[in-house]
Amino acid sequence: MRKIKPLYDRVLVERLEENNRTAGGIVIPPSAQEKAQIGKVIAVGKGCICDDGSVRALIVKEGDKVFFGKYSGTEVDDNHLIIREEEILGIVE
């Protein structure tokens, strides 16, 4: 993948693979699977620009596992997307 450095309050996230089997052992084909909503933060921007012109650092950092909304962000390719920090719903521990 090309080197992408997100700007301001944006975050580059790599989707993590989800389990392709149900609890009963049935294999779900790729055409029927939904895309993962959990990903790993690959890169972060410098921070959010506040109303007074100051820059607030982002809470998430590279390497964090995050949960985001189904329709969040802009897809870069099949496994990567760029989202705003405010679209991240939580950090997975």
Domains annotated for the chain, with CATH where assigned, are 10-17+33-92 (2.30.33.40)
The confidence score (pLDDT) of residue 73 equals 87
**Residue 42: HSE in the Cβ half-sphere, 13 Å Cα cutoff:** 19
Alpha carbon distance 1, 78 (integer Å):
11
DSSP 82: E
pLDDT digits (tens, 9 = 90+) for 47-64: 888 889 888 888 999 999
83's tokens: 């989202």
pLDDT digits (tens, 9 = 90+) for 57-83: 889 999 999 999 888 888 888 889 999
Q: Classify residue 93 as exposed, middle or buried by CB count within 10 Å of its CB (0-12, 13-18, 19+).
A: exposed
